[in-house]
Amino acid sequence: MKLIVDENIVLGKEAFETFGTVVYKNGRNITNNDLLIADALIVRSITNVNEELLNKTNIKFVGTATIGTDHIDLNYLENKNIQFSSAAGCNAYSVAEYVFSAILYITNKHNYNLANMSIGVVGYGNIGTKVVKIAKALGMKVVINDPPLERKGEQNFFSTLEDALKCDIITFHVPLNLEGIDKTVHLLNKERLKILNANAILINSSRGPVVDNYELMQKLKTEKNFHTVLDVWETEPKFNVELYKLIDIGTSHIAGYSFEGKINGTKIIYDSLSKHLKTPIVWKPILNKVVDNKIEILENERIAQILQKIFNKSYQVIDDDKLLRKSVGFSAEERIKHFDFLRKNYRVRRELNNFEVVIKNKNKELQNLLNVLRVKLI
């Protein structure tokens, strides 16, 4: 068996060489010619898998080690009887941790009281549900919008998009739907941007076109108190550098790039391919323990201070912003290369379940929060 595998899939060599011969390629450079003698294709979100790529090939299995499928022509795969698998949910905790790292950075910088803030969560899937759990554990008011789920019968649980956009914090966790009743391209457009409060915090870690980047830029030019966090961009890896100069935090589509998230993606696709081929599951990843993982908490520290200590130890999103911001003065071509370089060479970032909080007096509120964050309490 021959497989074409994106060279940046973590532990791809260990996982997929158990099936046969593997050829590794840059995901942006995989061509139809590469696939003419291949049986399976394993990609990430940067490879468009469609008729043009797969025409006249013998590909019988396509896997994407990512949560999204907007880069996959699912109808074509179904018509050609090509088995498909995605890694839905693989990096949900990673993205949720990115969101709260960003929220903590902005609220601390501007002395906002997190406990008194409301959060609008647009999209209540694998990621949105985790964001909601953390927000509720913090005592925040939560407004949830998800029309597809609402139509399934839970009308009283969900709110309108407009209500979500009126919150102090708005975070998007929706797929990229190009058309239909649940179209999400420019879901946040010029008119809806007018709904947002003057001091609102806007976070998009879903897909770039969900937010109209041009209209957002126009808004930010006049509203100085409006805060924005963008991990995804329209036309990435090319991004609007003028917009970037106006936002608080901008990163290179790495919200879901925790080490665990990446390995989960690889494992899900490996298991799916094993099932497709009816072969035993023999590969199981082994993760090293985080050595410096203890966080000392004083008895009189508030929840916000404890949270800040946890994220200072585990993950500070501003570090990723600094890396991308270096490219502001580059040429357009150099910025594109830098964007892809940051993704390809992303550091090992471990999730919160690898860390331990040390505190003498434990209260139920703190225990509940740490449990939701998956931080061990000792």
Tell whether 263 and 310 lie within a shared domain.
no
Average pLDDT over residues 191-216: 97
- Are 109 and 231 within one domain? yes
Is there a domain that residue 77 lies in? Answer: yes
The answer to whether the beta carbons of residues 177 and 183 sit under 8 Å apart is yes
pLDDT tier at 31, thresholds 50, 70, 90: very high
251: its two tokens: 């990163």
Q: Residue 362's pLDDT is what?
A: 74
Instruction: Please check whether residues 42 and 166 belong to one and the same domain.
Output: no
Q: Residue 228 pLDDT > 90, yes or no? A: yes
Look at residue 282 and tell me if it is in a domain. no
pLDDT at 333 over 90: yes
Domain assignment present for residue 284? The answer is no
- Please give the pLDDT value at position 201: 98
- 287 part of a folded domain: no
- The torsion angles phi and psi of 61, rounded to 5 degrees, stand at -145, 130
Percent of the chain exceeding pLDDT 70 equals 100
Q: Confidence band (pLDDT; 50, 70, 90) for 363?
A: confident
pLDDT score recorded for residue 269: 97
Q: How confident is the model at residue 303 (pLDDT cuts 50, 70, 90)?
A: confident
Q: Residue 237 CA to chain centroid, in angstroms?
A: 16
Question: By residue range, what is the domain housing residue 71?
Answer: 2-90+258-277
Question: How many C-alpha atoms does 98 have within 13 Å on its Cβ side?
Answer: 33
289 assigned to some structural domain: no
- Specify whether 12 is located in the same domain as 122: no
Instruction: Please indicate, yes or no, whether residues 106 and 214 belong to a single structural domain of this protein.
Output: yes
Which whole number is the average pLDDT over 21-31? 95
Instruction: Return the higher-pLDDT residue of 305 and 333.
Output: 333
Q: Does 30 score more than 90 pLDDT? A: yes
**86 with 97, same domain?**
no
Q: What is the pLDDT of residue 204?
A: 98
Q: How confident is the model at residue 338 (pLDDT cuts 50, 70, 90)?
A: very high
- pLDDT (mean) for 233-259: 97
How many structural domains comprise the chain?
3
Examine the domain organization and report whether 134 and 240 are in the same domain: yes
**Does residue 134 share a domain with residue 75?**
no
- Work out the pLDDT band at 84, boundaries 50, 70, 90: very high
**How far is Cα 187 from Cα 244, in angstroms, rounded to an integer?**
20
pTM confidence score: 0.92
Say which CATH number the domain at 62 has: 3.40.50.720
Catalytically active residues, by annotation: 207, 236, 253
Residue 34 lies in a domain: yes
d(C-alpha 263, C-alpha 356), whole Å = 22
Residues 6 or more apart from 270 whose CB is under 8 A from it? Answer: 15, 16, 281, 283
Whether 256 has a pLDDT exceeding 80, the answer reads yes
* 88 close to 65: Cβ distance less than 8 angstroms: no
Over the stretch 107-129, which tens digit does the pLDDT of each residue have? 999 999 998 999 999 999 999 99
Tell me the average pLDDT across 89-101: 97
pLDDT at 62 over 90: yes
Q: Is the pLDDT of residue 156 over 80?
A: no
149-173 average pLDDT score: 93
Mean pLDDT, residues 209-218? 98
Distance separating alpha carbons of residues 237 and 335, to the nearest angstrom: 8
Measured between alpha carbons, how far is 341 from 270 in angstroms, rounded to an integer?
26
CA 153 to the chain's CA centroid: 27
Residue 211 near residue 217, CB atoms below 8 Å:
no
Q: Are residues 193 and 319 in the same domain?
A: no
Q: Which residues 6+ apart lie within 8 Å of 210 measured at CB?
A: 172, 174, 176, 184, 185, 186, 187, 188, 204, 232
CB 136 within 8 A of CB 119: no
Which residues pair with residue 43 across a beta bridge? Answer: 64
Q: Domain holding 332: CATH number?
A: 3.30.1370.170
Asked whether residue 173 is assigned to any structural domain, the reply reads: yes
Looking at every residue in the chain, the average pLDDT score rounds to 95
Residues 157 and 181 in one domain: yes
